[in-house]
Amino acid sequence: MDAQRWYRVELPPQECVRNGKADRLQKAFEVMFITNERPTGAASFEWFDERLETNVFYFSPVAAALMRPLIEEVGGVECAPPLASHWLVFLNGDEQVLEGLQCVTGDRT
């Protein structure tokens, strides 16, 4: 796992239910973020697929370093940073990470 790369985890809608993988990812990040004294640059996001076929969770490089074992366990892969748009939702962490994301042309966040 590269410490400077973003990671994403794609989950089908049936995993995005109470106590499912999505819930587990979000809760684990929240605990790790607080336990590690809210590190600068650690943030998690969710991208809602407009076709509602999958939900994609993004972890900034700092967040991915905190969550490495769980991200690997659920099949996370390296990726480019997400583009800020109305489909991208900030979940938890350092809000300044969102401000640093490139916006989709013509879209408002």
Q: Evaluate whether residue 102 is within a structural domain.
A: no
Total count of domains within the chain:
1
Q: Evaluate whether residue 51 is within a structural domain.
A: yes
pLDDT band at 109 (very low <50, low <70, confident <90, very high): very low
Q: Evaluate whether residue 66 is within a structural domain.
A: yes
Length of the chain: 109
SS3 content of the chain, % helix, strand, coil (to 5): 30, 25, 40
CB atoms within 10 A of CB 18: 6
CB atoms within 10 A of CB 95: 9
Q: Evaluate whether residue 78 is within a structural domain.
A: yes
**Range with the poorest average pLDDT among 1-5, 47-51, 73-77, 100-104:** 1-5
Q: Evaluate whether residue 87 is within a structural domain.
A: yes
Residue range(s) defining the domain that contains residue 33: 6-95
Alpha-carbon distance of 29 to 101, in angstroms, equals 20
Q: Evaluate whether residue 62 is within a structural domain.
A: yes
pLDDT of residue 45: 93
Q: Evaluate whether residue 30 is within a structural domain.
A: yes
pLDDT of residue 105: 59
Q: Evaluate whether residue 107 is within a structural domain.
A: no
The H-assigned helical ranges of the chain are 21-35, 61-73, 96-99
